[in-house]
């Protein structure tokens, strides 16, 4: 999709000043430095242009919460396990922010850990467990729930709690995309295993991806059914990352007594990158909560994304 290329251009100057990226495949090019006459006094280089503010929205993924609104505009979509073995989504928006997104659901500890790599995004969520609220306000996010910005949310079609939507134009702005999380795009590396489909299973949810050569992407399915947006458009991922993470129980429970799982996204682990109809084995690494996640081949080379919407599925290790 074009929006990721737009995002790459906007954050190019930030991304490419990072040491270690020189020579790696990327879909962005460095900004040119103005050439000045020798007699002119030296000047400090101008600061790089800021990227667009980042918005993260916690999105319902229960059958009663489908289809989603606005998800097709997300640059990245994270899939995470929550209570009772079901899944929720986090849509991360920067290059294009739709006017309405939803249904919006509640925040989790996993979200706060995961979103630190984006800098300080605005986080739109419906609420949270009382024990989690102090952590949200200490986390590197701009909290944006009906409690903070009541005028941004409204009840739409559907039944509670699957009917809450957010008007993004009324939300506070997050900070620009972090230069510590560059999105690396480029041609597919050599090798890979031809793959037509892959499915991730949680205890009570299935997330599937089927390659379609005609659309050059992965059709998304949920619980065995095609996944489409509110206008009926099938959801298509250009790249799918299966990020194997350690999942443990937290101290938080839902109203039914189900323990809320915590997925650890700082550290290292196995990763599989699906793109261009092939699966590429590799590893993921994120050294600190404010650092981005990198995906590399067994030889240590960066595994670039294909232009388009990227899905990252948190797969419980083991």
Q: Which two tokens stand for residue 63?
A: 């059958």
CATH number of this structure's domain 193-316: 3.50.90.10
| Rounded distance between C-alpha atoms, residue 272 and residue 295, angstroms | 9
Nearest to 251 by CA among 125, 112, 147, 108: 108
| Rounded distance between C-alpha atoms, residue 187 and residue 18, angstroms | 21
Within 8 A by CB and 6+ apart from 159, the residues are 64
What's the pLDDT band for 159 if we cut at 50, 70, 90? Answer: confident
Average pLDDT over residues 191-213: 97
Strands 310-316, 76-81: pairing is parallel
Q: Which two tokens stand for residue 108?
A: 């989790």
Measured in residues, the chain has a length of 318
Query: Looking at the chain, which residues constitute the CATH 3.50.90.10 domain(s)?
Result: 55-170, 193-316
The stretches of the chain forming alpha helices (DSSP H) are 2-10, 12-16, 109-115, 133-138
| Rounded distance between C-alpha atoms, residue 275 and residue 252, angstroms | 36
| Rounded distance between C-alpha atoms, residue 166 and residue 7, angstroms | 23
Contact 230, 67 (CB under 8 A): yes
pLDDT at position 1: 45
φ/ψ region of 65 (left if φ > 0, alpha if ψ in -120 to 50, else beta) reads alpha
Name 226's bridge partners: 221
Average pLDDT over residues 115-126: 96
User: Following DSSP, what letter does each residue of 175-224 receive, concatenated?
Assistant: PBPPTTSPPPB-PPPS--EE-SEEEEEETTEEEEEEEETTTTEEEEEETT
Residue 256 has pLDDT above 80, yes or no: no
| Rounded distance between C-alpha atoms, residue 222 and residue 206, angstroms | 6
Contact 131, 107 (CB under 8 A): no
pLDDT at position 20: 40
Tell which CATH classification among 3.30.70.260, 3.50.90.10, 3.60.20.10, 3.30.70.100 matches the domain 55-170: 3.50.90.10
Considering the chain, what is the average pLDDT of its residues?
86
What's the pLDDT band for 50 if we cut at 50, 70, 90? Answer: low
Q: Which two tokens stand for residue 236?
A: 């298509």
Tens digits of residue pLDDT in 11-49? 443 333 333 433 344 333 222 222 223 333 444 444 445
Dihedral angle, C-alpha 276, 278, 280, 284, nearest 10 °? 60
| Rounded distance between C-alpha atoms, residue 117 and residue 113, angstroms | 8
Helix H or strand E encompassing 110: helix 109-115
Residue 230 has pLDDT above 50, yes or no: yes
Place of tokens 């928006």: 93
Average pLDDT over residues 185-205: 96
Average pLDDT over residues 135-155: 96
pLDDT at position 255: 74
Q: What angle do CA 205, 211, 216 make, to 5 degrees?
A: 130
Nearest to 264 by CA among 280, 279, 250: 250
Helix H or strand E encompassing 137: helix 133-138
pLDDT at position 213: 96
Contact 233, 72 (CB under 8 A): yes
pTM: 0.85
| Rounded distance between C-alpha atoms, residue 282 and residue 298, angstroms | 5
Q: What percent of the chain has pLDDT over 90?
A: 77
Place of tokens 């443990």: 248
Average pLDDT over residues 250-272: 90
């Amino acid at each position: 999709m074009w929006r990721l290329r737009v995002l790459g251009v906007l954050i190019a100057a930030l991304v490419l000043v990072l040491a270690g990226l020189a020579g790696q495949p990327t879909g962005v090019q460095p900004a040119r430095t103005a050439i000045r006459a020798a007699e002119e006094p030296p000047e400090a280089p101008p600061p790089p242009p800021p990227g667009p503010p980042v918005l993260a929205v916690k999105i319902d993924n229960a059958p009663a919460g489908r289809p989603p609104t606005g998800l097709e505009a997300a640059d990245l979509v994270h899939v995470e396990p929550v209570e009772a073995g079901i899944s929720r989504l986090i849509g991360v928006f920067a290059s294009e922010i739709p006017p309405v997104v939803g249904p919006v659901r509640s925040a989790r500890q996993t979200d706060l850990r995961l979103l630190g790599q984006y800098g300080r995004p605005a986080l739109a969520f419906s609420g949270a467990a009382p024990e989690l609220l102090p952590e949200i306000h200490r986390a590197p996010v701009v909290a944006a729930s009906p409690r903070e910005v009541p005028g941004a949310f409204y009840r739409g079609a559907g039944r509670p709690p699957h009917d809450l939507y957010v008007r993004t134009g009324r939300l506070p702005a997050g900070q620009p995309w972090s230069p510590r999380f560059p999105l690396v795009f480029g041609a597919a590396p050599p090798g890979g295993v031809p793959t037509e489909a892959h499915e991730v299973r949680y205890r009570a949810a299935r997330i599937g991806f089927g390659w379609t050569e005609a659309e050059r992407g992965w059709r998304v399915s949920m619980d065995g059914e095609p996944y489409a947006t509110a206008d009926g458009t099938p959801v298509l991922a250009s790249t799918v990352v299966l990020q194997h993470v350690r999942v443990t129980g937290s101290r938080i429970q839902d109203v039914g007594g189900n323990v809320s799982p915590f997925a650890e996204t700082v550290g290292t682990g196995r990763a599989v990158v699906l793109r261009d109809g092939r699966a590429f084995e590799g590893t993921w690494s994120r050294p600190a909560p404010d650092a981005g996640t990198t995906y590399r081949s067994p030889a240590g080379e960066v595994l670039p994304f294909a232009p388009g919407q990227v899905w990252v599925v948190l797969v419980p290790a083991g």
